[in-house]
Structure 1
C-alpha cells in the first residue's frame, strides 16, 4: 500500500492533475470516480489507484483484476484527488488523439467506424461543434456531454481553448470524452477552410445574425462556430461562416452562456434530423 504523499507515483498523479503541460508531455490525464473509471478499458489505463475500502468490495475486486492497480491510503487518495470527497478510485489514462480529417464527412465514415453495412442506413451527416478560445472548463465539458446527447460527430478547438483533459472537464463530460472525437488545431482559419472544402456548411452564433437559429436547415453536413465567453468569435473566424444565426431573447437577457447556446443549437439540429429521418 502507498501511504506517503511523498511517493513518486503520488507526486506524478498530482502533477498530471494540476498541470496541462505535464499532461501534454506525458500524454496522460487523471480521471476520478467509479462511473468514469468503469467506462475505461484496460488498454486505455496506465494505472488505477484505489483505497483499501474500495478494493475490499467483491464487485470492485473482480473488476480491478483486469487492470494494473495500486492500493493507497485514504490520506493519499484525498491528496491525489481533485474532488473534495473522492470515491476511492482514480485512474491515470492514456490520451486519445484524432486528426481533423477523421472528423470530416469523406474520411470519418471509415476512420470512426460509422459506415453502414450494405443495405443499411448511411452514416449521419457531420455535425461539428467548433470552439474558439473557450476558457471555462465547465463550459467545455458541458458542450461535449450535451453534444454526445445531441448526436454531434466531432469537436474542433483552437489551441487557446481550455484543456479538454482538465479534471473539471473530465468530470463534467461524464464519460463523453471517451466517445466523442475531438481535435485541437494550430490554425483555426485554415482548419475552417478545410472543413468547408469537405462540404460542411458553417453557422456562427453571432450578434449580427439576421435569422433565428430555428429558421435554418441543419440536416446536411454542418458545423456550429462558438466563440469566447466574453469576446465572442474573432472577426477572422466569423468571416469564415456561411451564415450568421441568432437565438432570440425575451426580457432583458442579451446573450446565453456558451454551453447553453451550444446546447440550444445542437439539439435543434438533432430535432431537425429526427424529423427528416421520419419522412
Structure 2
C-alpha cells in the first residue's frame, strides 16, 4: 500500500470516528430535547447542585425520596433498572466518553443530563476519587409478592457493610425480596450501596411499618416466619423449610427484637461447635438463605 492510499485510509477513519461522535451527540440532543453539550455547571450555588448535595444526608433522602449513586457501573445499572433516574451528572473531562460511548443508549428521555466541573462533581460525590459520573435516583415503591420462595427479614441491623452484604447475598440466593424494619441502617447511604454491588437495583426492598403489616400479610398467605435466635435448642438445619418462608436476622449486638420473635412461627439457631458466641449478621443470613437454596434448588 503506497503513501497516498495510507493517507486516504487514515483520514477516512478519522472522519468516520468524528461523524460517529457527532451523530451520537445529535441523537442525544434529539432524544433529550435540550442541548446539554454547551452548558457546564461550575457554581456550587446552583439550585440543582444545592438540592443534590443535601441528599448526602439521610433526612433529606427520606424527605425527597431520592438517593445518589456514583461511578460508571452503578450509574449504568440504575439506568438499566426499573428505578427512575432524575439527574445524570458527568464531569467535563469524562463527558464525551460516557455520554457518547459508554451509556448514551441507556439514557431515557426523562433523564436530565448535566455537565459539571470536576470540583462540582467532587462535592456531589462521597468517594474521594469519583469516576466522573453520578446520578440521582428516586426511591422505588415495592409491595410484597404472594408467591413461592423466601423473603429475608432484616431487623434493626446497624452496620452498612452487613446490610449491603445481605442485600447482595439475597439477590444471589434468589430471594423474593428484603423486608426492613424501622430502626435499621439506611440502605441508601453510600457505604451500604457500595456493599450491595448493584443488587439494590435488582432485588425488591420492602420497608416494614411499626405494626409489621407486611409480615402479617405474608403470614396470612401461607408464609412461615423463622426467627434466628440463640435462645432455643432447635437446630436450623433440622427445620422444615417450606416453599414459602421468611428468614429473620437481627441486630448485631441484640439480635431480633421481641416484636419479631413474638410473631415468629419457628425459632431456630445455627449450630456452632466452635468457641464463639455468635456469627456476623451478614454471614448468618447467608448461611440460612443458602440452606434454603440447597433444599429447593440443588
Q: Which range, TM-score by smaller chain? A: 0.7 to 0.9
Tell me the TM-score normalised to structure 1 length: 0.84
The counterpart of 1:23, out of the listed 61, 71, 82, is: 61
Does residue 1:73 correspond to 2:117, yes or no? Answer: yes
Quote the residue 2:165 is aligned against. Answer: 142
Contact 1:54 1:60 in 2 (8 A): no
Name the counterpart of 1:41. 79
**Is 1:12 paired with 2:51?**
yes
1:223 deviates by: 0.6
Q: What secondary structure, in the 3-state scheme, does the structure 2 residue paired with 1:211 have?
A: coil
The residue that corresponds to 1:56 in the other structure is 96
Aligned residues: 253
Question: Aligned equivalents of 1:228 and 1:204: distance in 2?
Answer: 12
Over 3 Å counting, the alpha-carbon distance change for 1:188 and 1:138 in structure 2 is farther
Change (3 A) 1:47 1:248: same
Which of 175, 189, 195 is the equivalent residue of 1:166? 189
**Contact preservation (8 Å) 1:27, 1:95:** yes
| Aligned 1:112-151 pairs, distance under 5 A | 125-151=148-174
* Cα deviation digits, residues 56-94 of structure 1 (max 9, x gap): 214137347654211111111111111111111100111
Residues 245-260 of structure 1: pairs in structure 2 closer than 5 A: 245-260=268-283
Alpha-carbon contact 2:88-2:135 (below 8 Å) kept: yes
Query: Once the 2 structures are TM-superposed, how far is the Cα of residue 252 of structure 1 from its aligned partner?
Result: 2.0
In the TM superposition, residue 219 of structure 1 has moved relative to its aligned partner by: 4.2
Gaps of 5+ in 1: 106-124
> Using the alignment, how far apart are the partners of 1:41 and 1:4 within structure 2?
26
Extract unaligned runs of 5+ from structure 2: 1-39
Tell me the TM-score normalised to structure 2 length: 0.79
Report the aligned-residue RMSD.
1.9
Q: 1:214 to 1:64 in 2, by over 3 A?
A: closer
Bigger radius of gyration among the two:
2
Residue 95 of structure 1 corresponds to 139
Q: Residue 223 of structure 1 aligns to a residue in which SS?
A: strand
